[in-house]
Structure formats: C-alpha cells, structure tokens
C-alpha cells in the first residue's frame, strides 16, 4: 500500500482532493441503480460503467478514488441469490476497477476501498440512524470478513465511511486490530453539527477512532454541508491526524423513494476554503456531487 501520509506530504501542504458521489456520476452516465445492491450491481452487470465514472473523477483532478465496495456484503448479495464466491469476487473487482482508472492518470492517484456500514445492506436508510438490532460480536464478524478480502485486493487504504454509531465504530476498531497492516480513514455520518447519526457526540466518536494506530485520518462524510465547518474544527481540536471531509449535497435521504429530498444545492468550490481553514486536509464530495464539482474544487488548488 502507498501511504496517505506520504501523499499529503508530497503535496507541499496542498489539500488532497477526493472524488465525488460515485452513484451520482454513474446516474449521470445513464446507469440504472434501481436495485437494493445500488452501484454494487454494476460490479456484476456493467463494470465498464464504473471505470468510466472513476476516470471522470481522475480527469477532474481527484487524488483519491473510492472503490465501489460500499454496498457489497455477503448478506446483501445472498438476498439476491448470489453466492459467497460471487461476493468475494465483487469485492476484489471493486478495487481492481478503481486501480484501472487510477492508472490512467499522469500523476499518483490513490485507491481507497470503501467499507460502508451494516445499515447499507438493509437498503432502508438505516445507515443514517445507526440503531441496529445486532450485538457487538455480530458487527465484528460482519465487517471482518469483507475487510480481509478487500485488503487482499491491495488498495492503498480503506475508506471506512458513513458510520452512524459508536457501537459500529467500536466494532470496526476491533476488526482493525486483527489486521495490523491495514490503514484506514474513518468518516462518520452526522445528524447535525454536534452529533453523529445515533445522537452520540461527534467529539467522542472522533476520539474513539483516532486512538487506533490503524486509522490515518478521521472526519465526516454524507452529512449536510452546513455542518461541515463546525465538525471539522471540532475534529482538528481533538486529534493531530489528518481530517477528511466529503459532504453530500444536502437534504434528507428518502429510503422509500430512493432519492434525496430538499437538497441544498451545494457548491464544493465555494464552501471548501472555510473547511480548509477549519482544519480539513482531504476534501471531496459524497451523494449528489459529480465530476463537475470535483473539477471546480481541484482547480482551486487549496
């Protein structure tokens, strides 16, 4: 694995630019995401569309691509009648497709394998609440299996993202202790400028994961842009580790309609300077942001 720290250092203090919302970019390209497997379905049916979307972010100036493994799980794939072998192959393919796109760049582009929350496999918006009826050991088992396979595929790091609860964060930190070679950033989804999705204090969540030697950056994703500046400042006051932020376009996810309602019309390039001033080292976008937004952000050279 290449190092996120080295990438930050080689930028001479410049902010690293993440990609944007993969599903958003795929939809703009005409991909059909009307499935409980969401973008993970394309790993099976249309991998070329994923490479095209990743390349759009590379061409826009992204320094880091996030692989399409967010929605991939043994349990979720089994619900669609797909075997454990197919699931493992999809996890590996998500990394290899992102690597293929990264290799098209004339500069170093890192690949982060996405590790989404348990709630994502339920396809009912649970990742924005975090209240699962699962014991700690069950969460550990759920995450360990796919993290081990993702690491076999050789990403530069893991993007543990959209984590909504302290319980799930604790389970993931435990998993990381069993794979000492793993390096990861850890991003929470937040209800507001003070709390993560399960109402736990954001500062306590950051302190929990920042204590792990496997965690190389901490922060927030898939959260309203209006909360990012405050959350960034709080995180940077708790840890000296790099801060990663990639908000959504605002609004609320309607799990029944499978769409964002009341989006705020976020413009990354307008808001990012304040996030940088608050302590963000790595900035990108999540749901509702596209390669157009990442291009405008990259051109600022923060």
Domain interval for residue 231? 4-298
Entry pTM: 0.93
- Structural domain tally of the chain? 1
Residues 191-247: tens digit of each pLDDT: 999 999 999 999 999 999 999 999 999 999 999 999 999 999 999 999 999 999 999
The residue written with tokens 């348990």 in the block is 118
- For the chain, strand residue ranges (E) read 16-17, 64-66, 110-115, 157-163, 184-188, 215-221, 243-246, 252-254, 259-261, 282-283
CA dihedral 19, 20, 22, 24 (to 10 degrees): -160
Residues 32-86: tens digit of each pLDDT: 888 878 889 999 999 999 999 999 999 999 999 999 999 999 999 999 999 999 9
Q: CATH number of the domain that 37 lies in?
A: 3.20.20.330
Distance between CA atoms of 279 and 233, rounded to whole angstroms? 6
Reduce the DSSP state of residue 279 to 3 states and report it. coil
């Amino acid at each position: 694995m290449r190092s996120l720290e080295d990438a930050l250092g080689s930028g001479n203090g410049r902010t690293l630019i993440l990609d944007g919302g993969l599903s958003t970019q795929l939809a703009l390209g005409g991909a059909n995401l009307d499935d409980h497997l969401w973008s993970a379905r394309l790993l099976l049916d249309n991998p070329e569309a994923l490479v095209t979307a990743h390349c759009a972010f590379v061409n826009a100036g992204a320094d880091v691509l996030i692989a399409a493994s967010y929605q991939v799980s043994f349990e979720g794939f089994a619900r669609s009648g797909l075997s454990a072998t197919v699931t493992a192959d999809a996890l590996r393919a998500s990394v290899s497709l992102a690597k293929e796109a990264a290799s098209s760049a004339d500069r170093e582009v890192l690949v982060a394998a996405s590790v989404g929350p348990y709630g994502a496999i339920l396809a009912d918006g649970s990742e924005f609440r975090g209240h699962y009826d699962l014991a700690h050991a069950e969460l550990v088992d759920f995450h360990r299996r796919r993290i081990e396979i993702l690491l076999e595929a050789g990403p530069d790091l893991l993007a543990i993202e959209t984590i909504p609860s302290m319980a799930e964060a604790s389970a993931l930190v435990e998993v990381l202790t069993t794979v000492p070679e793993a390096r990861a950033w850890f991003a929470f989804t937040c209800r507001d400028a003070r709390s993560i999705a399960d109402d736990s204090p954001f500062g306590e969540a950051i302190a929990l994961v920042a204590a792990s030697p496997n965690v190389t950056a901490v922060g927030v994703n898939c959260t309203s842009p209006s909360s990012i500046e405050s959350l960034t400042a709080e995180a940077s006051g708790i840890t000296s580790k790099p801060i990663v932020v990639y908000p959504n376009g605002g609004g609320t996810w309607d799990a029944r309609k499978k769409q964002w309602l009341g989006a705020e019309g976020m413009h990354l390039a307008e808001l990012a300077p304040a996030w940088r001033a608050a302590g963000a080292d790595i900035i990108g976008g999540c749901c509702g942001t596209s390669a157009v937004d990442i291009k405008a952000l990259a051109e600022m050279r923060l």
